[in-house]
């Protein structure tokens, strides 16, 4: 099989799952009306599959800041952070992230994906070890592969399995980076951070927590799981993204270890890419300010999460263990998931479809992401529609 | 780690593989896991987990990419066990 034939074989496998004409992946959004509504084809749909957790995509403060930055600094930096791409805004945003997490060091990356790639591959290398949760995001896996370190996984959120693997490492634990996520993107469940910290303190190792989905969502000021659990000081490195609750693109790493600064000189995903555009940085700074004082948004978000989680549970769907902004209905077969997804779209509801092998344990997922801008009526309608479709899909 | 441990690893691997695959292929140290037994990745990962517990080792997933035959898998487990 040559290279192109291999792609043809992969395309055939995909088409066997998804018949032609079903555009579940990369669905064309024609117009965006608000944080909760858009046009797909000729339908006005409710958006239940975005990561816009605080509903800030149209926040006037962020839009104004982005406009001003474009006018003053142009559309792009056209260069790396290492060369000509570190403007005042990039450095200011780093100071603001350090202040937000009460940390000494902070680095801004061009995407959250690169924040993980750059941080992991900057911290560990060949001969070192990464101990990661089996359900880790692809950016964590890719960062580990890029690093050349030995990759050892523990079963998702299984602390007995994690302990066993820490014990087996023996002295190698000294050069081991443990990685977990604040909220896992597939099922929306949270890492048992207190237990992870306890094991880390017993056996040793360095701990990195990816707060991509928990930033702005957990904790009084929105720091994430570290704030909810009061364990900020116990986590060595925190990474995260601007692409979810901050409604732009980019990523960060913060730490109290001054050595984080050295990553600027060794980390390829930081160096060999252009820095975020001035408008991106400006809207992110404005959004971070709104996020920090956004406890009313978090309250509304959690009200919506709890309502939808309860409605789907009541309707008989199998869900992840924790209610939260990511609510995934687990289905046994890809066909069931596809049927549910298509029917929801026919009811003008857009959610995410996740098929094996992307979903854990061979399941297929229909995943909702709830945000603070959804109204109670919108959530009620989504819950009612799921309930109406349950017998069609599950029986 | 002694020779008998190596034999133990090899025996366990062959036993588990023959029950996993239900095929008539006679499993030897040179049997190719992918092309001859067509083990899918989930089954292989489950088998790896069982081996990890039996021999109390962790096998890095990136070390598995080079593994083709039963012997190579046994060598890998043996090497990790010896180093621990
Ligand atoms: C857990 C996790 N980490 C990192 C990322 C990457 O973020 P970004 O979209 O900024 O590249 C994501 C995004 O999907 C994620 O879910």
Disruptive mutation site among A131, A140, A152 for chain B (greatest number of B CBs within 10 Å): A152
pLDDT reported for residue B83:
84
Question: pLDDT at residue A23 above 80?
Answer: no
How buried is residue A155: exposed, middle or buried, by Cβ count under 10 Å (0-12/13-18/19+)?
A: middle
User: Picking from A211-220, A305-314, A326-335, B38-47, which range would have the lowest pLDDT averaged per residue?
Assistant: B38-47
Disruptive mutation site among B45, B56, B58 for chain A (greatest number of A CBs within 10 Å): B58
Question: pLDDT at residue B23 above 80?
Answer: no
Question: pLDDT at residue A24 above 80?
Answer: no
The whole-number average pLDDT for the span A268-286 is 98
Q: Which two tokens stand for residue A278?
A: 């001035």
pLDDT reported for residue A229:
98
The 10s digit of each residue's pLDDT in A316-365 is 999 999 899 999 999 999 999 999 999 999 999 999 999 887 787 778 99
The whole-number average pLDDT for the span B21-25 is 71
pLDDT reported for residue B29:
85
Q: What torsion do the CA atoms of A268, A269, A271, A274 make, to the nearest 10 degrees?
A: 150
- Whether B60 sits inside 8 A of A129 (CB atoms) is yes
Q: Comparing C-alpha atoms, which of A94, A89, A98 is closest to residue A283?
A: A89
The whole-number average pLDDT for the span A259-278 is 97
What CATH number did the domain enclosing B14 receive?
A: 1.10.1200.10
- Whether B61 sits inside 8 A of A169 (CB atoms) is no
Please indicate whether residue B7 or residue A252 has the higher confidence score (pLDDT).
A252
pLDDT reported for residue A21:
62
Residue B60 touches chain A, beta carbons under 8 Å: yes
Output the CA–CA distances (angstroms, integers) from residue A337 to A13, A17, A353, A363, in the order listed: 17, 11, 7, 9
Distance of alpha carbon B71 from alpha carbon B62, whole angstroms: 17
Q: How far is the CA of A212 from the centre of ligand 1 (A)?
A: 6
Question: pLDDT at residue B4 above 70?
Answer: no
Distance of alpha carbon B22 from alpha carbon A343, whole angstroms: 40
Question: pLDDT at residue A366 above 80?
Answer: yes
Question: What top-level class would CATH report for the domain A16-47+295-394?
Answer: alpha beta
Provide the 10 A C-beta neighbour count for residue A386.
28
What values do phi and psi take at A255, rounded to 5? -165, 160
Distance of alpha carbon A231 from alpha carbon A182, whole angstroms: 12
pLDDT reported for residue B13:
87
Q: What is the ipTM of this complex?
A: 0.87
Provide the 10 A C-beta neighbour count for residue B12.
17
Where does the pLDDT of residue A374 fall: very low under 50, low under 70, confident under 90, or very high at 90 and above?
Answer: very high
A 110-139 → B contacts, CB under 8 A: 129
What's the number of domains chain B is made of?
1
Please compute Rg for chain B using Cα positions.
Answer: 12
Residues of chain B contacting A360 with CB distance shorter than 8 Å: none
Residues of chain B contacting A168 with CB distance shorter than 8 Å: 56-58, 84
Chain A residue with the nearest C-alpha to that of B62: A151
Distance of alpha carbon A366 from alpha carbon B30, whole angstroms: 43
Task: For residue B79, give the H/E element and its range.
Answer: helix B70-83
- Which residues, 6 or more positions from A348, have their beta carbon under 8 angstroms from its beta carbon? A43, A44, A45, A46
Start and end residues for every CATH 3.90.1150.10 domain found in chain A: 16-47+295-394
Half-sphere exposure of A77 (CA within 13 A, CB side): 23
A 359-388 → B contacts, CB under 8 A: 362
Q: How far is the CA of B32 from the centre of ligand 1 (A)?
A: 37
The 10s digit of each residue's pLDDT in A150-172 is 999 999 999 999 999 999 999 99
- Whether A153 sits inside 8 A of B61 (CB atoms) is yes
Distance of alpha carbon A102 from alpha carbon A232, whole angstroms: 9
Question: pLDDT at residue A69 above 90?
Answer: yes
What values do phi and psi take at B21, rounded to 5? -95, -20
Chain B residue with the nearest C-alpha to that of A131: B60
User: Picking from A104-118, A127-141, B35-49, which range would have the lowest pLDDT averaged per residue?
Assistant: B35-49
Distance of alpha carbon A175 from alpha carbon A390, whole angstroms: 49
pLDDT reported for residue A20:
63
Q: Comparing C-alpha atoms, which of A351, A276, A234 is closest to residue A94?
A: A276
Q: Position of tokens 């099922």?
A: A187
- Length of chain B equals 84
Binding pocket residue ranges, ligand 1, CB within 6 Å:
A 111-113, 116, 137, 139, 181, 185, 210, 212-213, 241, 243, 249, 251
The whole-number average pLDDT for the span A72-85 is 97
- Whether B58 sits inside 8 A of A165 (CB atoms) is yes
CATH for the stretch A60-292: 3.40.640.10
Residue B52 domain boundaries: 3-83
Q: Comparing C-alpha atoms, which of A301, A300, A333, A304 is closest to residue A318?
A: A333
Start and end residues for every CATH 3.40.640.10 domain found in chain A: 60-292
Residue A168 touches chain B, beta carbons under 8 Å: yes
Mean pLDDT is highest, among A211-225, A360-374, B13-27, B35-49, for A211-225
Average pLDDT score over chain A: 96
Q: How far is the CA of B34 from the centre of ligand 1 (A)?
A: 33
Residue A55: alpha-carbon gap to chain centroid: 15
b or e along A112-142 (b: 16 or more beta carbons within 10 Å of the residue's beta carbon)? bbbbbbbbbbbbbeeebbbbbbebbbebbbb
Nearest protein CA to atom 16 of ligand 1, as residue:
A185
pLDDT reported for residue A22:
63
Please indicate whether residue B54 or residue A65 has the higher confidence score (pLDDT).
A65
Distance of alpha carbon A357 from alpha carbon A141, whole angstroms: 15
Q: Report the side by side order of strands in the sheet with A352-354.
A: A318-319, A326-331, A364-369, A352-354
Provide the 10 A C-beta neighbour count for residue A394.
16
Task: For residue A30, give the H/E element and its range.
Answer: none
DSSP 3-state of A249: coil
The answer to whether the beta carbons of residues A255 and A238 sit under 8 Å apart is yes
Q: How far is the CA of A215 from the centre of ligand 1 (A)?
A: 12
Q: Comparing C-alpha atoms, which of A311, A335, A324 is closest to residue A371?
A: A324
Q: Which two tokens stand for residue A312?
A: 């789907």
pLDDT reported for residue A233:
97
- Whether A151 sits inside 8 A of B61 (CB atoms) is yes
Pairing of β A364-369 and β A326-331? antiparallel
Residues of chain B contacting A165 with CB distance shorter than 8 Å: 58
Q: How far is the CA of A112 from the centre of ligand 1 (A)?
A: 5
Residues of chain A contacting B42 with CB distance shorter than 8 Å: 362
The whole-number average pLDDT for the span B71-76 is 92
Where does the pLDDT of residue B22 fall: very low under 50, low under 70, confident under 90, or very high at 90 and above?
Answer: low
pLDDT reported for residue A311:
98
The 10s digit of each residue's pLDDT in B36-50 is 777 777 777 888 888
Pick the atom of ligand 1 nearest to A137's CA.
1
DSSP 3-state of B6: helix
Residue A170 touches chain B, beta carbons under 8 Å: yes
pLDDT reported for residue A56:
98
Distance of alpha carbon A338 from alpha carbon A318, whole angstroms: 16
The whole-number average pLDDT for the span A301-308 is 98
The answer to whether the beta carbons of residues A80 and A265 sit under 8 Å apart is no
Question: pLDDT at residue A149 above 60?
Answer: yes
């Amino acid at each position: 099989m040559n290279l192109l034939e291999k792609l043809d074989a992969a395309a055939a496998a995909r088409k066997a799952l998804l018949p032609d004409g079903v555009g579940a992946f990369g669905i064309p959004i024609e117009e965006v009306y608000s944080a909760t509504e858009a046009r797909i084809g000729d339908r006005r749909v409710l958006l239940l599959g975005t990561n816009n957790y605080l509903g800030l995509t149209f926040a006037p403060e962020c839009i104004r800041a982005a406009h001003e930055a474009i006018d003053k600094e142009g559309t792009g930096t056209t260069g790396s952070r290492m060369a000509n791409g570190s403007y005042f805004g990039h450095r200011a945003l780093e100071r603001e992230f350090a202040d937000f997490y009460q940390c000494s060091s902070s680095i801004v990356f061009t995407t959250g994906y690169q924040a993980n790639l750059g941080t992991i591959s900057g911290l560990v290398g060949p001969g070192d070890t990464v101990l990661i949760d089996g359900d880790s995001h692809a950016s964590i896996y890719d960062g580990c592969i890029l690093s050349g370190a030995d990759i050892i996984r523990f079963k998702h959120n299984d602390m007995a399995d994690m302990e066993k693997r820490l014990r087996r490492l023996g002295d190698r634990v000294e050069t081991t980076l443990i990685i977990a996520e604040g909220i896992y993107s597939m099922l929306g469940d949270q890492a048992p951070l207190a237990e992870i910290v306890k094991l880390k303190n017993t056996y040793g190792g360095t701990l990195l927590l990816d707060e991509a989905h928990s930033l702005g969502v957990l904790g009084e000021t929105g720091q994430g799981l570290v704030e909810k659990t009061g364990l900020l000081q116990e986590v060595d490195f925190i990474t995260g993204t601007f692409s979810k609750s901050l409604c732009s693109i980019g990523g960060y790493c913060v730490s109290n270890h001054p050595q984080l600064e050295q990553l600027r000189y060794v980390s390829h995903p930081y160096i060999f890419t252009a820095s975020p555009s001035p408008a991106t940085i400006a809207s992110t700074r404005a959004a971070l300010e709104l996020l920090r004082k956004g406890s009313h948004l978090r309250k509304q978000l959690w009200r919506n999460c709890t309502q939808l989680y309860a409605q789907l549970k009541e309707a008989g769907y199998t869900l992840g263990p924790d209610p939260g902004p990511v609510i995934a209905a687990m289905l046994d077969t890809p066909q069931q998931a596809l049927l549910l997804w298509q029917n929801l779209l026919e009811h003008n509801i857009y959610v995410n479809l996740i098929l094996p092998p992307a979903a854990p344990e061979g399941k297929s997922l229909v995943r909702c992401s709830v945000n603070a801008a959804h109204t109670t009526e919108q959530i009620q309608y989504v819950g009612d529609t799921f309930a109406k479709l349950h017998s069609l899909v599950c029986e | 780690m002694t020779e008998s441990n190596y034999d133990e690893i090899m025996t366990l691997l062959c036993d588990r593989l023959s029950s996993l695959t239900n095929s008539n292929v006679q499993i030897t140290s040179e049997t190719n896991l992918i092309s001859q037994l067509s083990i899918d990745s989930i089954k292989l990962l489950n088998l790896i987990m069982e081996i990890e517990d039996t021999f109390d080792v962790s096998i890095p997933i990136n070390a598995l990419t080079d593994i083709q035959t039963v012997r190579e898998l046994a060598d890998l487990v043996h090497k990790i066990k010896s180093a621990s």
